[in-house]
Amino acid sequence: MELQSVELKVEMVGIHEKRLRKSLSKLKGIEKVEVDANSHKVVVTGNAHRNKILRAIRRGGLKADFWSAQNDLLNAYAYGSLRFNNFNFF
């Protein structure tokens, strides 16, 4: 089975990264976990099914959902990096 990446939005507050990694360590097939705590984005690479990854994180007591394009737009707004026609609106 080919490795795939699953992008998730996970509420990352305090020690949640440790809890997140512990929850995912129980799943077989996980190769790499990348966490961006500022944007609450987690990228899990491996050959575990995306629904199993989401369930494992939620079972660990964390609020999580699949990442969407709307999350990218909200992060751009929050961090002032949204630009239109070379004008910076934020």
Tens of pLDDT, residue by residue over 20-75, are 999 999 899 999 999 998 888 999 999 999 999 999 999 999 999 999 877 666 66
pLDDT number for residue 90: 43
| Contacts by 13-16, CB closer than 8 A, 24 or more apart | 16/62
* Residue 35, both tokens: 């966490």
The CATH number assigned to the domain with range 4-85 reads 3.30.70.100
What does the pLDDT read at residue 1?
61
Single pTM value for the model: 0.75
